[in-house]
Structure 1
Amino acid sequence: MRARKVVIRKAGGYEQLHLEEVNQDSPGIGEVRVATEAIGVNYADCVIRMGLYASAKEYVGWPITPGFEFAGHVDAVGPGVEDLAPGARVFGVTRFGGYATHVTVPRHQVFTLPARLSMEQAAGFPTVFLTAYYALFELAHPRPGANVLVHSAAGGVGGALLQLGRIAGCRMVGVVGGTHKVETARAQGAEVVIDKSREDLWSVAKKAAPRGYDVVLDANGPSTLRDSYKHLASPGKLVIYGFHSMLPRTGGRPNYAKLAWDWLRTPRFDPLTLTNDNTSVLAFNLSYLFEQRAVLEESMAQLLGWLEEGKLVPPPVKSFPLDAVADAHRALESGGTVGKLVLVP
């Protein structure tokens, strides 16, 4: 059968996002093919397009179809899949390949669509909540009452972190980059919201937690990493899951001189200093974890349980047609969005 997908043949700007018609293979043993109705857009997809995403180079290379998450209905199942039938409403994750009208993945990467979620909400749910879950519960392990600082708190992962931190009984402090994002962060669970567009970030952060933060969650990179570490309590944990400030907000192409400068000013954490400060620095990349079946299934089971109980709500969603993928990337890179962006085939 014929399908459509976004193909990037070489690193570059928005002009490298090509929508192409391709032949769609039948699912193999233990696989499920999903006809997508919504596809999640993540900042990592933009980094892939720029040619700077390490695991994309390692697992796929060029050409590549970005996309980590999707929702739709089962179109076909391969041999050995007996608990899903064509027509079932599902959502799931994929290590690349999501920007397509049809996605084929192993059965364990597909989940029944929750009644509480629309297709668009479901497509924007897995990546941000799995990222937040892994950061908080697999790495940071905050105790009830812990002071937790979340950068980019009105974004997809930031909002998920605020909600999960609230479930864990933590005191959540969110940082946002514009006044229009304050209420979004507050609604997701931030007790204190710092609007760094009109407040001095670190003086307000210190006032909100004078003894320091038990956990700081930072995807900004060199613009905040050094100060994030300085504001840890003893003991405290800095969790790193991105480097957004190294990349452009306009134009869609990286500035290699800026990248080099930011690489030079990225802090290097010395083991002796960490030991003496009684602190930890942890980091991860979700795309390397999809093959960890036990972690994926356990995390999603817990997240979907909380969703069913009403303890989690999906982030606000803005939709773009699949053929407007460049507009979605442009909007996400601008830093002005809240919640999640999704593509609708």
Structure 2
Amino acid sequence: MKKIVIPNAGSYDVLRLEEHPDPVAGPGEVLVAVEAIGVNYADCVVRMGLYESAKKYVGWPITPGFEVAGTVSALGEGVTDLEVGARVIAVTRFGGYASHVVVPRHQVFPAPARLDTYQAAAFPSVHLTAWYALHELTRLRPGMKILVHSAAGGVGGALLQVARIAGCFVVGVVGGSHKIEAARQLGADVVIDKRAENLWETAARHAPEGYDIVLDANGAETLKHSYRHLGPGGRLIIYGFHTMMPRRGGRPDYLKLAVDFVRTPRFNPLDLCNDNKSVLSFNLSYLFPRADLLKEAMDQLLGWVEQGKLQPPQLRTYPLAEVGEAHLAIESGTTVGKLVLTV
């Protein structure tokens, strides 16, 4: 099989396409012949050597990748509810940048007929993130006011749609005029282009009493103001720190990381009680062993796909051998929707 191997932390040049023996499905596992692979910003952080769960569970060398789509190639002992040749989506705790992957049965799901293979590969990570943030960490009610940063990206677009399904009023924040229409199409009631208008003045105008939920993956750049713009009982949900990462060059700027670490707000429990606000955070890679949670989330998400309530994001595809170009693009902050590697 072919797979991308990263021997050590570095820039795009450490992404090596190698040939390896095909893996074998063990008891309770499924071998998937991969046709498409979703690219996530976390993959770049893995490559830079800054992703804690990658260091905890794998170390070096590592093959990144959290999501794939393809067909069932073989079934391990005890797996009787799938057929060889079936179209599937699989989530992987690393190892996804490969032509074949072996995963536990509970991490494999039927690919919806409404999604082609590329759309299927781009689906699980961002939508699981959105579902967990909005259905596990909080309880959505119609009419809630929600602010979504990076609304035209993969997770941002999924958050817009999940919130829209619940009947919430959603304000999406984007970083360029070319992203406005994408956010609107995915369900934003209002789109703020932070490069063309004052982000926080505009955000306050649309929610004078504050937001019920703010979803922020930016880090030091916006966290303090995101918290300030919560209303009574509001929740700030954090799932990343993208602005601490480089937009070019592929290597972390450790001086900037140190400065942003100092700038990152610390939330005192006494203040949280007195302010009547909550701060929540999570990392999806730690949740993959939760078979019950994955099933509940994917059943609901795939049901929404079949009902036409979730639409796939805009896609840009790259051959697996051009993975460095995909990482360069997603790190630039200029992309819309999702990037997919083809095998």
Please say which of residues 23-32 and 325-334 is displaced more in the overlay. 23-32
Moved over 4 A (4+): none
CA contact under 8 A between 1:142 and 1:214: conserved in structure 2? no
Q: Equivalents in 1 of 2:24, 2:160: separation in Å?
A: 40
Corresponding letter in the other structure for 1:148? I
CA contact under 8 A between 1:221 and 1:266: conserved in structure 2? yes
* Shift of residue 144, structure 1, vs aligned partner: 1.1
Q: Equivalents in 1 of 2:40, 2:252: separation in Å?
A: 17
Match of 1:8 in 2: 6
Superposed counterparts of 1:138-177, under 5 Å: 138-177=136-175
Which residue of the other structure, out of 68, 71, 88, is the alignment partner of 1:70?
68
Q: Equivalents in 1 of 2:335, 2:28: separation in Å?
A: 38
Match of 2:237 in 1: 239
Match of 1:93 in 2: 91
Q: Equivalents in 1 of 2:44, 2:97: separation in Å?
A: 12
Match of 2:41 in 1: 43
Match of 2:312 in 1: 314
Q: Equivalents in 1 of 2:173, 2:297: separation in Å?
A: 26
Q: Equivalents in 1 of 2:228, 2:69: separation in Å?
A: 41
Match of 1:251 in 2: 249
Match of 1:25 in 2: 23
- Matched residue count: 343
CA contact under 8 A between 1:140 and 1:239: conserved in structure 2? no
CA contact under 8 A between 1:142 and 1:215: conserved in structure 2? no
Q: Tell me, what secondary structure is at the counterpart of 2:250?
A: coil
1:208-237 per-position Cα deviation (integer Å, ceiling 9, x unaligned): 111110000000000000000000001100
Q: Tell me, what secondary structure is at the counterpart of 2:72?
A: strand
* Shift of residue 196, structure 1, vs aligned partner: 0.6
CA contact under 8 A between 1:240 and 1:283: conserved in structure 2? yes
Please say which of residues 178-187 and 309-318 is displaced more in the overlay. 309-318
Superposed counterparts of 1:147-226, under 5 Å: 147-226=145-224
Corresponding letter in the other structure for 2:214? V
Structure 1 residue 287 corresponds to structure 2 residue 322: no
CA contact under 8 A between 1:184 and 1:338: conserved in structure 2? yes
* Unmatched segments (≥5 aa) in structure 2: none
* Shift of residue 25, structure 1, vs aligned partner: 2.6
Corresponding letter in the other structure for 1:213? Y
CA contact under 8 A between 1:131 and 1:157: conserved in structure 2? yes
Corresponding letter in the other structure for 1:272? L
Q: Equivalents in 2 of 1:142, 1:32: separation in Å?
A: 35
Which residue of the other structure, out of 295, 319, 341, is the alignment partner of 1:297?
295
Q: State the identity as a percent.
A: 66
Q: Equivalents in 2 of 1:237, 1:142: separation in Å?
A: 11
Give RMSD over aligned pairs. 0.6
1:132-185 per-position Cα deviation (integer Å, ceiling 9, x unaligned): 000001012122101000000000100000000011110000000000000000
Corresponding letter in the other structure for 1:122? A
CA contact under 8 A between 1:36 and 1:71: conserved in structure 2? yes
Q: Equivalents in 1 of 2:188, 2:23: separation in Å?
A: 46
Q: Equivalents in 1 of 2:250, 2:33: separation in Å?
A: 29
Provide the TM-score with structure 1 as the length reference. 0.99
CA contact under 8 A between 1:40 and 1:341: conserved in structure 2? yes
Match of 1:275 in 2: 273
Q: Equivalents in 1 of 2:27, 2:82: separation in Å?
A: 14
Q: Tell me, what secondary structure is at the counterpart of 1:194?
A: strand
Q: Equivalents in 2 of 1:88, 1:311: separation in Å?
A: 24
CA contact under 8 A between 1:147 and 1:215: conserved in structure 2? yes
* Shift of residue 84, structure 1, vs aligned partner: 1.5
Match of 1:61 in 2: 59
Corresponding letter in the other structure for 1:44? A
1:258-281 per-position Cα deviation (integer Å, ceiling 9, x unaligned): 000000010000000000000000
* Shift of residue 112, structure 1, vs aligned partner: 1.0
Provide the TM-score with structure 2 as the length reference. 0.99
Match of 1:327 in 2: 325
Q: Tell me, what secondary structure is at the counterpart of 1:99?
A: coil
Q: Equivalents in 2 of 1:98, 1:256: separation in Å?
A: 28
